[in-house]
Amino acid sequence: MMNVPMSDRLSDFRVTGTMVNYYFVCQRKLWLFTHDVQMEHESDLVKQGRLIDETSYPEKRHNVQIQNTISLDFLDIKDGVIHEVKKSDAMEEAHFWQVRYYIYFLKQIGITGTRGEIDYPKLKQRKTVFLSEQDEKELEQIIANIRQVKCSEEMPGTIHKRFCRKCAYFEFCWT
C-alpha cells in the first residue's frame, strides 16, 4: 500500500454526530463505521429508535441536515434548541457528547447561542445540554482521536460489555 500522508487521507473526512457517539460507545464500532461498514440498516433496535424519533414529535421537521455533516433530529429555530431523540438513556454520556458536538459544529460555522435537549420519549424525560469552553477543548481532542481511529489500518479490539449483544455490529466481534 502506498504511504499517503494522514492529512491527504482526511481531507474529505467529516466527523459526524454518530461518530462522536460511537467514540464513547465502542472504538471498534467507530472504526467499522468510518470504513463504510454500516450495519444499522439491518438492526431492529436501530429501526425501533428511528420509529420513536419519527413518531414522537410528528409536528417537527426531522433529520435537519447541515453541511452534509450533521443531522439534527429536529431543531426549534425560535428558541435555538437542538433536539436529539433517543430510545433509552443507557448510553447517556455518548448522547451528551453527540449533542455537544452538534452545538460545537454549529458554533464553528457561525451559529451561536444554541443549546441542546436530549429527548427520551419512552421515559418521558428531557435533558438539557450546554457546551462549555472545557467541552470545546475536549471535543477538539475527541475529533483528533476519531480521525486517528479512521486512519488506523487495524481494527480496535473488542470490548466486553452487556450492551454488545444488542449492537448492530455484534457479528464483527463475536462470531
Q: What is the pLDDT of residue 134?
A: 98
Domain assignment of residue 21, yes or no:
yes
pTM attached to this predicted model = 0.84
Domain assignment of residue 155, yes or no:
yes
Range of the domain at 66: 6-174
Listed as ranges, residues in the chain with pLDDT below 70 are 1-11, 39-59, 61, 175
Domain assignment of residue 115, yes or no:
yes
d(CA 160, CA 162): 7
Q: Which of 135, 140, 116 has its CA nearest to residue 126?
A: 116
Other beta carbons less than 10 A from residue 10's beta carbon: 15
DSSP 8-class letter at 61? P
Q: What is the pLDDT of residue 50?
A: 62
Q: What is the pLDDT of residue 2?
A: 38
Domain assignment of residue 167, yes or no:
yes
Q: What is the pLDDT of residue 32?
A: 93
d(CA 114, CA 120): 20
Domain assignment of residue 1, yes or no:
no
Other beta carbons less than 10 A from residue 106's beta carbon: 22
Q: What is the pLDDT of residue 3?
A: 45
Judge contact between 73 and 37, C-beta under 8 A.
no
Q: What is the pLDDT of residue 140?
A: 97
Q: Count structural domains, the chain.
A: 1
Q: What is the pLDDT of residue 4?
A: 42
Q: Which of 92, 108, 88, 1 has its CA nearest to residue 46?
A: 88
Chain segment 37-76, per-residue pLDDT in tens:
876 656 565 556 566 656 666 567 678 899 999 999 888 8
Domain assignment of residue 150, yes or no:
yes
Q: What is the CATH number of the domain that holds 70?
A: 3.90.320.10
